[in-house]
Homo-oligomer: A and B are copies of this chain.
């Protein structure tokens, strides 16, 4: 029986930034941000924690930046030329998608919401302004609208997370609002905001 050079080197995909961030996101979604440690992340990847630093030289800071980028990346699907007049519907679709992604990864929300990153934020608002520019909305009205809409979406997602008891806490079936309540509230508020633009 021929001895393998290493148990691991054979049937394990090599480490990569993408695999690392994916594993980190899985830990955060499943166990919460507080349980994301370099050592646990190493375990999940079947690697010593220190191997991660070879791919993320800035360490945990860079890992958290990667999580934010993965969740908050703004793929504001630009409307096809034919739809240009329907910019309001395009904004509505974008808002619903963005909110869904934020709430789905509630554990990352504290990072998305407050990590200082002016360039990433500028990119998001720019893509919103582009939708409105194609729809013929004046520049400065579009700039205000972009910040207002993004603020509402991000803020409401935060309220939803804040207003939902942790699974396993008390009063889970008590006075707390249900998912359906939050859906309704988000839609109602979104209609208000879009109507005002």
Which residues of B are found within 8 Å of A185, using beta-carbon distances?
Answer: 143-144, 147
Q: How many copies does the complex hold?
A: 2
Q: In whole angstroms, how far apart are the Cα atoms of A28 and B132 in the complex?
A: 39
- Is A156 a contact partner of B155 (Cβ separation < 8 A)? yes
| Given A148-B152, A163-B121, A188-B144, also A113-B116 (CB < 8 A) | no
Q: Which 10 A-B pairs have the closest CB atoms?
A: A155-B155, A148-B189, A151-B156, A196-B196, A151-B155, A154-B155, A144-B188, A113-B158, A192-B196, A110-B114
Residues of A that sit less than 8 Å from B by CB? 106, 109-111, 113-118, 121-122, 143-145, 147-148, 150-159, 161-166, 169, 171, 175-177, 185, 188-189, 192-193, 195-197
